[in-house]
Amino acid sequence: MRIGIGYDVHRLVEGRKLILGGVKIPYPKGLEGHSDADVLTHAICDALLGAAGERDLGEHFPDTDARYKEICSLELLKEVGGLLAGKGWTIENIDSVVVMETPKLNPFKQKIKEKICETLGLDSDRVNVKATTTEGLGYLGRSEAVASYAVCLLKKGDGFLF
């Protein structure tokens, strides 16, 4: 078994959609980035790549590559899932936290979880999505950015889940 950790931050700006875990969240601002800047999905990708010893998301999908401009990050997650499956890894579980002051993520957590499970071909009890704030402290507390953490456990063996 192998564990991995992922962390990501994107700036909240005007004129962008807010996409978290592949779900569009109604909010006047969105996350800035080369792709759709889905901070949660990026953290999950990095946790998965890390556990497999496969470097990081930026190396696999460089933000200088026009192919990834505005790309839906679930497509990147799907590729990461395929890469791991190809190397014989199965995903035991993924846990994650989104850190943001506003908007409240609670109404969207279930849908986000479903999207991630669907993308990776996992049963719904293998992925968990949590949300927290920083109680108004710092750049996250001022809603200048959204951060996300993820951890995962991979297993090598039979029964591919992808």
Contact residues: Zn ion, CB under 5 A: 8, 42
- Shortest distance, CB of residue 57 to Zn ion, whole angstroms? 7
User: In this complex, which beta carbon is closest to Zn ion, that of residue 42 or of residue 126?
Assistant: 42
User: In this complex, which beta carbon is closest to Zn ion, that of residue 73 or of residue 90?
Assistant: 73
User: In this complex, which beta carbon is closest to Zn ion, that of residue 42 or of residue 113?
Assistant: 42
- Shortest distance, CB of residue 19 to Zn ion, whole angstroms? 11
Q: Are 122 and 90 in contact (CB under 8 A)?
A: no
Cα–Cα distance between 49 and 137 in angstroms, integer? 31
Residues in Cβ contact with 20 at an 8 Å cutoff, skipping those fewer than 6 apart: 38, 39, 40, 41, 98, 105, 108, 112, 146, 148
- Nearest CA-CA partner of 37 in 78, 81, 79, 74: 74
- Shortest distance, CB of residue 63 to Zn ion, whole angstroms? 9
- Shortest distance, CB of residue 75 to Zn ion, whole angstroms? 14
Q: Which token pair is 152?
A: 């995962």
User: In this complex, which beta carbon is closest to Zn ion, that of residue 90 or of residue 99?
Assistant: 99
- Shortest distance, CB of residue 8 to Zn ion, whole angstroms? 4
User: In this complex, which beta carbon is closest to Zn ion, that of residue 90 or of residue 148?
Assistant: 148
Write down the H helix ranges in 15-72.
Answer: 39-51, 57-60
Cα–Cα distance between 122 and 9 in angstroms, integer? 25
Cα–Cα distance between 37 and 72 in angstroms, integer? 8
